[in-house]
Amino acid sequence: MRKYFGTDGIRGEVNVPPLTADFTLKLGRAAALNVLNNNKDDKNTQRKILVGKDTRISSYMLENALVAGICSAGVDAVMVGVLPTPAIAFMTKSIRADAGVVISASHNPYYDNGIKFFDKNGYKLADSVELEIEELIDFSTPVKSDQHIGKAFRIETAIGRYVEFVKQTFPKAYTLRGIRIVTDLANGAGYRVCPMALEELGAEVIVLNNEPNGMNINKSCGAVYPENMSDMVLKYKADIGISLDGDADRVIFSDSLGNIIDGDKIMGICAKDMLLDGTLKNNTIVATVMSNLGFEKSMNDAGIKLIRSAVGDRYVVEEMLKSGSNLGGEQSGHIIFSDFNPTGDGIISALQLLKVMRRTDKTLTELASTITLYPQILKNVLVKEKVPLDKMVKTSSLINDIKHRLDKRGRILVRYSGTENKLRVMIEGERQGQIESYAEEIIASINEEISTTTND
């Protein structure tokens, strides 16, 4: 069991252990020592770790602590400033760094933050490597000789390099001229690069929430609140809406009618297009256990195999590598086009969808209508502590009873969030009213068995 790392790095409230400045310094040193330990056969090469961040006010404090820790172990720290999480994956590989790290809590509010690592190829670290780093945190010490202390320096061109990279994923045969796009940038890490890429490809871009002040990231905006984007799509008569989360690794869309289009439908649209184009490897895609049953049926009907993984884009990537597939993702909008980037990238996902619209000359409404989803409800129960589900006897029994009632005409999944103190209740079925009733039954049972605060 990992002590500090969760499903997506280390995440929590800032200045509350473990996410303090002194811990972050130790973490940076431990990560640097892990790099050195894994490169003992080549002691003549100066090692380097790339460091990026989102727009949270605490990201600057944690950046300084992390860089100090890295340099204290004799490894160079290369800072690129505010950039999306997928840009850190790209830049780590591009500059031949030994690892990359991004300071971000993704869609969480500003008072939270997190630290996520990438290996030299831009992949998130395996659980075993995170365990190695954890073992070094409490027992690492600085190097004794000042001549071995690492240097810290910045790459000022990182923004332009990333924008050019994402633009290259859009075919040169097409432009975005004539397309009006509403973008909700969540006051986050994509606030500069996303509109820049879209405008340089010719789109007319209407920008929302692109004035970060350190405390407004994800505040009633971005991918967690896509209704804001869809309302503006209707107001400005746009062709499509694009809503990123705080670190721009996930994206939710709106069609021109204001309908919210989630990750399942986007994966389905792109998978079918790639199948016709002959670029969908092994005719297979990977989605998580949260993805809609109707989405899976639509894929199977199209001749596409769907493999399910645990929740978390890192686990999607693991299954993609095992199955040799090049498309996977989550209903929440993490979509991985591994031919371009080995992690979820909201801007690349948007460009791939726009490519399908251009190539087929169809609206997003028309494309989305080919993917039929079952009614689904997702409820979150905020909890003070994560009581194991098998300890909740009444709730576990009720869940099994509802599974029996649904039979093969639906499914239920109850799981704790890997990044927040939330118990997620997801139910799918043929009738909306029925699954809503089932969800209320389960939440009432949970409230009886464990101490809760607020539901949403």
Both tokens of 91, joined, read 């830049």
The phi and psi torsions of 134 (rounded to 5 degrees) equal -60, -40
Residue 184: enclosing H or E segment and its boundaries? strand 180-184
Nearest to 413 by CA among 394, 400, 430: 400
Both tokens of 375, joined, read 């009614």
Amino acid identity at 20: T
Tell me the CA end-to-end span of the chain in Å, nearest whole number.
Answer: 30
Is the peptide bond between 18 and the residue preceding it cis, with omega within 30 degrees of 0? yes
Q: Where are the alpha helices (DSSP H) in 95-204?
A: 127-137, 158-167, 193-200
Both tokens of 187, joined, read 């006051």
DSSP string covering 35-94: HHHTTTT-TTSPPEEEEEE-S-HHHHHHHHHHHHHHHHTT-EEEEEEE--HHHHHHHHHH
What's the sign of the alpha-carbon dihedral 52, 57, 58, 64?
Answer: positive
- Based on the residue annotation, tell me whether 106 is a catalytic residue of this protein: yes
- Identify the DSSP state of 426: E
As a three-state string, the secondary structure of 238-293 is CCEEEEECCCCCCEEEECCCCCEECHHHHHHHHHHHHHHHCCCHHHEEEEECCCCH
- The active-site residue, picked from 59, 72, 104, 106, is 106
Amino acid identity at 16: V
Amino acid identity at 319: E
Q: How distant is the alpha carbon of residue 329 from its chain centre?
A: 9
Q: How far apart are CA 64 and CA 56, in angstroms?
A: 14
Q: Annotated active-site positions, please?
A: 106
